[in-house]
């Protein structure tokens, strides 16, 4: 629905005097029976309050954030009030370089909300009726159906009072009568910027909108969490598979290097023990041959070691190497020979783009 429900209340906020549907453009559409206002569908509910209990001043206020300004205005206006400011409700609207400051009793605001909520209605705006009178170059006065006079002055402020009191407050002849259509006056509430619903009386947010937002956010969060769990499980599975593959390759190399070890419990500790045995049994022959081999392998970027085995009885180190070409294999053997190693080739073969060569190394006589 794009229509508005405008409701007129009495000076105490306890009685509803009129109600009607108003278009978004501010045109009066139809009157609404008071006994059915709770069933009217409207985009907003706007209350027009008989303004006898509302006073409006035009003041120069400091340029501060709205929240901070709302805290200091009661103290600034203390000398304008007959009773302590704590008993009052303040509302502020900027107008040019100045601001309108409206004040009314908090009990009056409570009564308005109590009356409307009894019909299942929640007002988004509460406007004092005198602020709906057209503002001209001279003071304008309008008499409503209830006999009260709504006065709007050129500077924008105004008031509502009984006729006799209004005539006493205004200079003789200063108030120009306004040809007032009461429904048209109520309809102006749709386009009015003036609103008493501020502070603790500000329009309530739609709770269901928050519930829907949190529900959607929760579903998105749940979906993101499920994706994260799936990604973590997949990554963990990949790492586990990679770890198992590396361990299998390491175990195969260990068994080829130390075939006498029948059972592997702690590969690192057992490898250390086997190396110590070789050092003690062969007088360091394994360390000498492997040291030269590892050094030359590390200096050759295209050389990879695929297998290693030491024959303690013969003092020979059998190694399987992979080269990028046959020429690199020949160059590598010459380097070992120059380092004092007797090299015997067991055979070479082409495997894909690599050349795999089996060598037997022993110390030169």
| Cα–Cα distance for residue pair 258/252, rounded to 1 Å | 10
- 73: how many CB neighbours lie within 10 A of its CB? 20
Domain boundaries, the chain: 4-204, 205-256, 258-363
Q: pTM higher than 0.85, yes or no?
A: no
| Same fold across 4-204 and 258-363 | no
The CATH number given to 258-363 is 3.30.1360.100
* Cβ–Cβ < 8 Å for 157, 57: yes
Q: How far is CA 105 from the centre of its chain?
A: 39
| Cα–Cα distance for residue pair 149/257, rounded to 1 Å | 110
pLDDT tens-place values along the chain, 365 residues long = 568 999 999 999 999 999 999 998 888 999 999 988 988 888 899 999 998 999 998 888 888 888 888 888 888 887 777 666 678 899 998 888 888 999 999 999 999 999 999 999 999 999 999 888 887 766 777 776 677 888 888 888 888 888 778 777 877 665 555 556 778 888 889 988 889 998 888 876 554 444 556 677 778 888 888 888 888 888 888 887 777 777 777 777 777 777 777 788 777 787 777 777 766 655 567 778 888 888 888 888 788 888 888 877 788 888 898 988 888 888 888 888 888 888 888 888 888 888 899 999 888 76
Interacting residues of 40 by C-beta distance below 8 A, sequence separation 6+: 5, 19, 21, 32
| Cα–Cα distance for residue pair 202/250, rounded to 1 Å | 73
Taking only the tens place, the pLDDT of each residue in 127-150 is: 999 888 887 766 777 776 677 888
Interacting residues of 113 by C-beta distance below 8 A, sequence separation 6+: 123, 201
Q: So what's the pLDDT on residue 151? A: 85
| Cα–Cα distance for residue pair 237/101, rounded to 1 Å | 68
* Cβ–Cβ < 8 Å for 125, 189: yes
Interacting residues of 86 by C-beta distance below 8 A, sequence separation 6+: 74
Q: So what's the pLDDT on residue 209? A: 47
Taking only the tens place, the pLDDT of each residue in 233-278 is: 888 888 877 777 777 777 777 777 777 777 887 777 877 777 777 6
Let me know the angle formed at the C-alpha of 142 by 141 and 147, rounded to the nearest 5 degrees: 120
* Cβ–Cβ < 8 Å for 293, 319: yes
Q: Per CATH, is 4-204 categorized as 3.30.420.380?
A: yes
């Amino acid at each position: 629905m794009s229509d508005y429900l405008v409701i007129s209340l009495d000076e105490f906020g306890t009685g509803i005097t009129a109600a009607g549907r108003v278009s978004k453009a501010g045109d009066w559409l139809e009157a609404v029976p008071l006994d059915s206002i709770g069933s009217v569908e409207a985009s907003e509910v706007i209350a027009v309050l008989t303004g006898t209990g509302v006073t409006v001043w035009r003041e120069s206020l400091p340029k501060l954030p709205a929240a901070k300004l709302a805290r200091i205005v009661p103290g600034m206006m203390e000398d304008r009030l007959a009773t302590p400011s704590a008993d009052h409700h303040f509302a502020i609207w900027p107008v040019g370089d100045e601001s309108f400051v409206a004040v009314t009793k908090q009990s009056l605001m409570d009564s308005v909300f109590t009356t409307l909520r009894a019909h299942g209605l929640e007002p988004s705006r509460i406007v004092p009726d005198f602020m709906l009178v057209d503002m001209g170059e001279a003071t304008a006065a309008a008499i409503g159906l209830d006999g009260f006079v709504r006065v709007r002055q050129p500077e924008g402020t105004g008031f509502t009072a009984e006729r006799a009191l209004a005539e006493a407050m205004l200079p003789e002849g200063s108030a120009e009568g306004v040809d007032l259509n009461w429904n048209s006056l109520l309809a102006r509430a749709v386009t009015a910027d003036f609103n008493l619903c501020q502070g603790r009386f500000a329009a309530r947010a739609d709770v269901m909108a928050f519930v829907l937002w949190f529900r959607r956010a929760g579903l998105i969060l749940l979906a993101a969490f499920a994706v994260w769990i799936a990604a973590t499980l997949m990554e963990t599975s990949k790492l586990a598979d990679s770890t198992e593959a590396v361990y299998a390759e390491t175990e195969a190399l260990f068994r080829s290097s130390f075939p006498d070890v029948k059972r592997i419990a702690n590969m690192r500790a057992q490898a250390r023990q086997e190396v110590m045995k070789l050092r003690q049994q062969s007088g360091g022959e394994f360390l000498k041959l492997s040291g030269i081999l590892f050094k030359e392998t590390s200096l050759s970027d295209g050389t990879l070691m695929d297998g290693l085995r030491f024959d303690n009885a013969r003092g020979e180190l059998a190694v399987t190497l992979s080269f990028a070409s046959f020429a690199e294999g020949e160059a590598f053997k010459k380097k070992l020979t120059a380092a004092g190693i007797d090299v015997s080739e067991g055979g070479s073969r082409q495997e894909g783009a690599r050349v795999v060569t089996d060598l037997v190394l022993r110390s030169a006589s």
